[in-house]
Amino acid sequence: MQAHQGVLVTGGAGYIGSHVVKQLGERGERIVVLDNLSTGFRQAVLYGELIEGDTGDTELVRRILKDYQIGAILHFAAHTIVPESVADPLKYYGNNTCKTRNLLQCAAEAGVAHFIFSSTAATYGIPDTAVCAETAPTAPINPYGGSKLMSETMLRDLSAATPLKHVILRYFNVAGSDPEGRIGQSTRNATLLIKVAAEVAVGKRDKLRVFGTDYPTPDGTGVRDYIHVSDLADAHIRALDHLRGGGASATLNCGYGHGYSVREVIDAVNRVHGSPIAVEEQPRRAGDPPQLVAAVNKIHATFAWRPRYDDLDFIVKTSLDWEKKLLTQPWGE
């Protein structure tokens, strides 16, 4: 029965959501995408039916859950720019937290069985250790992380009170684009390092700014755990299979369990691109931890997820390939 129920993907026209929709579609799932297209792209939705609308629209959400017999929700719809969340916190709590509450209420009323939530390592704030386990204290230092942590709490509390089962996936640094080149990271004014570096390489930006070169790391720049978006998408598919198979609710880190410094990323971009990009070194930004790497033993123990693209040069290559494609085939206006 459950295999024939529909899957609702909120934010499925966005960067990560569209990669998940692609993988769901490739295995024949019945998909409905709900996206307000504020940052997503219609042409990113390769499978299923796209409904242009908002997770805050209670009547619309109720109708979708009923009409499409939704058995699982994968919830990506969110604002994700950390500096913007600091400048406009209520925008983030309104969109990321209040609308998630609305979605959860509709899901509970409709008897949706499974809920997979797109969360973030920003819920940890600045961890005490370089490698961060799911048991680390959650202490967000910006409203983006705070808005996601509130949603996690609501989801856990709802699961405790109802039959709803969930998986919360805390992403580390997502990067790269679909290896087949059909979709990619098209976010306007992106802030993620590999995306920005690739934009510099193809001439969309004049230089890459490196914030902080005096961290207590091997080369003085910040170290992060970069995960290819296709591997992250696959983790959502495994999470869905886990829940459908009767698996328990879980909160799991999504990363590779090792990190690269900003300088190592720049070296990879230069190597793959074939010539050096322009770099400008600047002082540290407030709130950037020196190192942030995922402890990944829990996700490996919980379900059969094994990364396929754990290779920095490959991640960079798929990013560069996508930027080159966007030069000739721009998305959106």
**Domain spanning 2-175+226-254: CATH superfamily:** NAD(P)-binding Rossmann-like Domain (3.40.50.720)
* Share above pLDDT 70 across residues of the chain, in percent, rounded to a whole number: 98
pLDDT at 2: 41
Mean pLDDT (the chain) is 95
Distances in Å between the Cα of 151 and the Cα atoms of 92, 95, 114, 146 are 12, 11, 15, 9
Rounded (10°) CA dihedral 141, 301, 72, 101:
-20
pLDDT at 1: 37
Architecture of the CATH domain 193-225+257-328: Alpha-Beta Complex (3.90)
Q: Give Cβ neighbours of residue 52 (< 8 Å, ≥ 6 apart).
A: 35, 36, 37
- Give which of 312, 301, 302, 131 is closest to 228, Cα–Cα: 312
Task: For residue range 259-270, list pLDDT tens digits in order.
Answer: 999 999 999 999
Helix (H) or strand (E) holding 250: strand 250-254
pLDDT above 90 for 289? no
pLDDT above 90 for 233? yes
Rounded (10°) CA dihedral 96, 186, 295, 119:
10
Instruction: Give the active site residues.
Output: 144
Say which residue the tokens 């193809």 belong to.
Answer: 202
Task: For residue range 48-70, list pLDDT tens digits in order.
Answer: 999 999 999 999 999 999 999 99
Domain ranges of the chain: 2-175+226-254, 193-225+257-328
